[in-house]
């Protein structure tokens, strides 16, 4: 938690040394620096004859008592201008190469206006001309100085570069992710039905959920519609459950029957069938489009959104790149922005549907809507399937299923056609690519489209970039393509990936260090709800390549430990690099004067504590535009 006392509180375990306890106040000649009184004089007697110092102690004591009763949030107000300092030394990691560490940051309204030592920022605040130059308005009457607790640190606002906001909210409805058998998963659905009388008493109510993962089940087989029918409460209902990775649907018998006649094949997808050729109730990748679901209401979307925002802010996220906004989702976020209901920043990737007309030349980009809370200037294209479902597109057959090399969800000639069109019309192009063949095809398309083009103006991204050949790793840096990666995928997939890919090809999976060493820029995300929302889990996975209990298939040193990132690289991958990847590095991503005041206070120094302690870190405060969105200052 943060120190909430004013400078005059006098609490020894809360306040910095006397020489640091200062605030700037105005004088007739302009701002001046004044020390807080050390003791009382007859002239300073206040209420009931108490000295002002003792009165301050009483007020501080009452404040702490109030905090114990009502919590920190009620004390979260901050003045228009304030300095936030580390009591001992440079506890602020700015991610600004000009000054990587600082003791204090200064906020005026929604912007950082200064960083430095306490002496530096207070001396500069006295110079009204300096303050005017950096705030572009009239200097306010005083600068209040507040302190984080000893041992706490401040980092820029954290970003998740690849996530699914509304889908995470949908995942919260029925907890399916941690189940270990099909039967346990069906039981979770049963519990949900019984807990909701309106659903329990109406067989025609549609039931949706998200998060099952067949790779963690004992059988590791795709589930079937018949398995719902084994439970009398669940049987004969309309049920659609999305897989954890978003690449498969598991439907009930009634839903399967409602689809009618199914095609024999689906380009870029798969209808799972039994030995006799009958559909079993699982639809993979493009085959998912065969399953119709009711359109959620605005109220349903708002409930999902609020569930995600609550968890995201508590985890220190100030910005999320939403990967694959369909028209309904984009319309929802636009409405939220117009109504001033976006508590954090969203960078949206608009979904490209190859079955519909090209829209890049007739669709307006959204940039900085809702006071810079919503931007949608990129397109998301799906190249192939997923490794978990066995449909990521590979050059050679799967080691555990030699009958297939996976599938491309979009034909290469379509990629070669639409990527240059989107780039010409000023759209950033972000392509989902998992397998080595898919990554190679997309990089081919990028290479052709980028000839004679300013790549920094377009900043194409490969989303996931999971399995790469050595030649394609080198092309990242050469072409200037951004690798949008998810470190927690590595520590999740490491348990089955070698069996799926073989001992040699697996070396090109999640090869973070190799990508960096070839000069590419990496930006980190989670892909939640595929993984958890906590960005520190990605930080930990990137630098350790271990599960959170310290294990890996290669032992406690980490899975392919030579591919680890440094802490500095991982922090940049959650701050300044996502800002660059969303064209916002001039306003976000570092604690730099002039940028928006987005930052996070952490309970310990993740840049130096033992790796075993990283996941014990708590988010004390998440601050957006200088105001606490979670916790308090």
pLDDT at 134: 56
What number is the average pLDDT over the span 162-173? 93
> Are residues 118 and 211 located together in one domain of the fold?
no
The verdict on 152 and 184 lying in the same domain is: no
Residue 54 above 80 pLDDT?
A: no
pLDDT value for 615: 98
User: Is 536 within 8 Å of 617 (Cβ atoms)?
Assistant: yes
| Last-in-domain residue among 290, 321, 356 | 290
Say yes or no to pLDDT of 313 above 70: yes
Mean local confidence (pLDDT), 613-628: 98
Across residues 390-397, what is the average pLDDT? 96
Instruction: Using a pLDDT cut of 70, give the percent of the chain over it.
Output: 86
Higher pLDDT pick, 436 / 173: 436
| Same domain membership, residue 80 and residue 14 | yes
- Whether pLDDT at 251 is above 80: yes
- Residues 6 or more apart whose CB falls under 8 angstroms from that of 182 comprise 217, 219, 223, 227
Q: What is the pLDDT of residues 509-567, one digit of tens each?
A: 999 999 999 999 999 999 999 999 999 999 999 999 999 999 999 999 999 999 999 99
- State which residues form the domain around 132: 7-157+627-631
Provide the CB-side half-sphere exposure for 628 (13 A, CA).
Answer: 21
Confidence of residue 391 (pLDDT cuts 50, 70, 90): very high
CATH number where 545 lies: 3.20.20.140
The answer to whether residue 606 scores a pLDDT higher than 50 is yes
Residue 363 lies in a domain: no
Comparing 7 with 479, which gets the higher pLDDT?
479
Task: Report whether pLDDT(203) > 60.
Answer: yes
pLDDT of residue 131: 52
CA distances from 235 to 52, 239, 255 (A): 72, 10, 12
For 500, the enclosing helix (H) or strand (E) is: helix 497-501
**569 and 515 co-located in one domain:** yes
The pLDDT value given to residue 141: 54
Higher per-residue pLDDT: 567 or 70: 567
Q: Extract long-range pairs of 402-409: CB within 8 Å, 24+ residues apart.
A: 405/437, 406/435, 406/437, 406/438, 407/268, 407/269, 407/270, 407/285, 408/268, 408/383, 408/384, 408/437, 408/438, 408/441, 409/268, 409/269, 409/285, 409/286, 409/382, 409/383, 409/384, 409/385
**What CATH number has the domain bearing residue 257?**
3.10.310.70
Statement to judge: residues 104 and 185 lie in one domain: no
Range of weakest confidence among 63-72, 189-198, 338-347, 387-396: 63-72
Q: Which residues contact 42 (CB under 8 A, 6 or more apart)?
A: none
In the chain, the number of structural domains is: 3
- Domain for residue 485, yes or no? yes
| pLDDT score of 205 more than 60 | yes
Residue 322 lies in a domain: no
CB neighbours of 177 closer than 8 A, spacing ≥ 6? Answer: 171, 211, 212, 213, 244, 529
What are the residues whose beta carbons fall under 8 Å from the beta carbon of 592, sequence distance 6 or more? Answer: 94, 96, 98, 112, 115
Three-state secondary structure readout of 102-156: ECEEEEECCEEEEEECHHHHHHHHHCHHHHHHHHCCCCCCCEEEEEECCCCEEEE
pLDDT at residue number 132 = 54
* High-pLDDT (> 90) share of the chain, %: 79
CA 604/CA 454 separation, integer angstroms:
41
| In a domain? residue 305 | no
Q: What is the mean pLDDT of residues 228-244?
A: 95
Q: What is the mean pLDDT of residues 490-496?
A: 96
Is 350 inside any structural domain? no
Q: How confident is the model at residue 36 (pLDDT cuts 50, 70, 90)?
A: very low
The pLDDT assigned to 133 comes to 54
Cis (ω within 30 of 0) for the bond into 529? yes
* The last residue of a domain, from among 245, 260, 290: 290
**At 422, is the secondary structure helix, strand, or coil?**
helix
Does residue 424 sit in the same domain as residue 572? yes
State the pLDDT at residue 177.
Answer: 82
Residues 480 and 545 in one domain: yes
Domain end among 267, 290, 313? 290
SS (H, E, C) 53-98: HHHHHHHHHHHHHHHHHHCHHHHCCCCCEEEEECCCCCCEECCCCC
Residue 446 has pLDDT above 90, yes or no: yes
Q: Is the pLDDT of residue 142 over 90?
A: no
Confidence of residue 129 (pLDDT cuts 50, 70, 90): very low
Distance CA 330, CA 336 (A): 10
Please state, in angstroms and rounded to a whole number, the distance separating the CA atoms of residues 544 and 556. Answer: 9
586 & 446 share domain? yes
pLDDT-derived band of residue 128, with 50, 70 and 90 as boundaries?
A: low
Residues 206 and 275 in one domain: yes
Rounded mean pLDDT, 495-512: 97
Mean pLDDT for the chain?
87
Q: CA–CA separation, 173 vs 240, rounded Å? A: 13
Distance from C-alpha of 24 to C-alpha of 349, rounded to nearest angstrom:
45
Give me the count of residues in the chain.
633
Asked whether residue 302 is domain-assigned, the answer is no
CA dihedral (88, 91, 97, 99) in degrees, to 10, reads: -30
Predicted confidence at residue 587, as pLDDT, reads: 98
Same domain for 422 and 393: yes
- Could you tell me which residues are beta bridge partners of residue 384? 408
Which pLDDT band holds residue 74 (cuts at 50, 70, 90)? very low
């Amino acid at each position: 938690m943060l120190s909430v006392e004013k400078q005059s509180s006098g609490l020894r375990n809360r306040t910095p040394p006397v020489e640091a306890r200062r605030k700037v106040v105005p004088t007739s000649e302009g701002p001046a620096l004044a020390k807080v009184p050390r003791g009382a004089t007859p002239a300073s007697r206040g209420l009931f004859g108490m000295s002002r110092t003792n009165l301050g102690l009483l007020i501080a004591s009452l404040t702490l008592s109030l905090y114990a009763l009502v919590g920190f949030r009620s004390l979260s107000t901050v003045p228009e201008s304030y300095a936030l300092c580390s009591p001992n030394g440079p506890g602020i990691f700015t991610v600004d190469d000009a000054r990587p560490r600082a003791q204090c940051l200064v906020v005026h309204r929604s912007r950082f206006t200064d960083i430095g030592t306490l002496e530096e920022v207070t001396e500069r605040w006295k110079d009204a001309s300096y303050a005017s130059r950096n705030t572009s308005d009239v200097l306010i009457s005083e600068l209040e100085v507040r302190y984080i607790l000893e041992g706490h640190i401040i980092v820029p606002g954290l970003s998740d570069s690849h996530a699914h906001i509304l889908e995470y909210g949908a995942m919260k409805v029925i907890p399916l992710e941690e189940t270990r058998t099909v039967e346990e998963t069906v039981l979770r659905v049963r519990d949900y039905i019984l807990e909701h009388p309106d659903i329990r008493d109406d067989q025609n109510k549609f039931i949706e959920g998200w998060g099952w993962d067949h790779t963690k089940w004992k059988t590791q087989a795709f589930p079937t519609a018949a398995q719902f029918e084994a439970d009398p409460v669940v049987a004969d209902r309309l049920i659609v459950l999305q897989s954890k990775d978003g690449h498969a649907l598991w439907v009930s018998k009634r839903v399967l029957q409602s689809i009618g006649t199914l095609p024999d094949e689906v380009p870029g997808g798969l209808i799972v069938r039994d030995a006799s050729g009958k559909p079993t109730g699982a639809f993979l990748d493009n085959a998912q489009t065969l399953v119709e679901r009711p359109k959620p209401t605005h109220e349903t979307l708002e409930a999902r959104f609020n569930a995600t925002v609550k968890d995201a802010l508590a985890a220190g996220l100030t910005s999320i790149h939403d990967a694959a906004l369909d028209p309904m989702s984009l319309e929802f976020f636009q409405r939220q922005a117009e109504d001033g209901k976006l508590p954090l920043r969203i960078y949206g990737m608009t979904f490209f549907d190859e079955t519909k007309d090209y829209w890049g030349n007739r669709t307006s980009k959204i940039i900085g809507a809702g006071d810079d809370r919503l931007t949608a200037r990129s397109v998301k294209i799906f190249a192939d399937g997923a490794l978990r479902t066995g449909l990521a597109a590979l050059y050679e057959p799967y080691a555990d299923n030699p009958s297939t090399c996976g599938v491309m969800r979009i034909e290469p000639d379509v990629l070669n056609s639409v990527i240059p069109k989107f780039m010409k019309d000023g759209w950033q192009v972000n392509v989902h690519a998992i397998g080595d063949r898919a990554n190679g095809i997309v990089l081919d398309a990028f290479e052709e489209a980028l000839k004679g083009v300013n790549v920094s103006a377009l900043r194409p991204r490969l989303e996931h970039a999971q399995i790469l050949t050595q030649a394609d790793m080198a092309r990242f840096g050469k072409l200037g393509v951004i690798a949008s990666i998810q470190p927690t995928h590595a520590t999740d997939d490491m348990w089955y990936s070698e069996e799926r890919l073989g001992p040699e090809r697996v070396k090109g999976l999640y090869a973070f260090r190799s990508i960096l060493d070839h000069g590419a820029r990496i930006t980190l995300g989670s892909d939640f709800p595929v993984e958890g929302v906590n960005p520190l889990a990605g930080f930990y996975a990137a630098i350790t390549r271990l599960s959170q209990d310290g294990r890996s298939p290669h032992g406690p040193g980490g899975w392919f430990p030579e591919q680890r990132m440094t802490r500095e690289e991982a922090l940049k991958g959650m701050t300044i690099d996502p800002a660059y990847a969303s064209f916002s590095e001039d306003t976000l991503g570092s604690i730099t004067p002039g940028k928006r005041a987005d930052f996070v206070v952490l309970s310990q120094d993740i840049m130096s504590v033992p790796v075993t302690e990283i996941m014990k870190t708590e988010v004390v405060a998440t601050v957006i535009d200088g105001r606490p969105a979670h916790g308090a200052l």
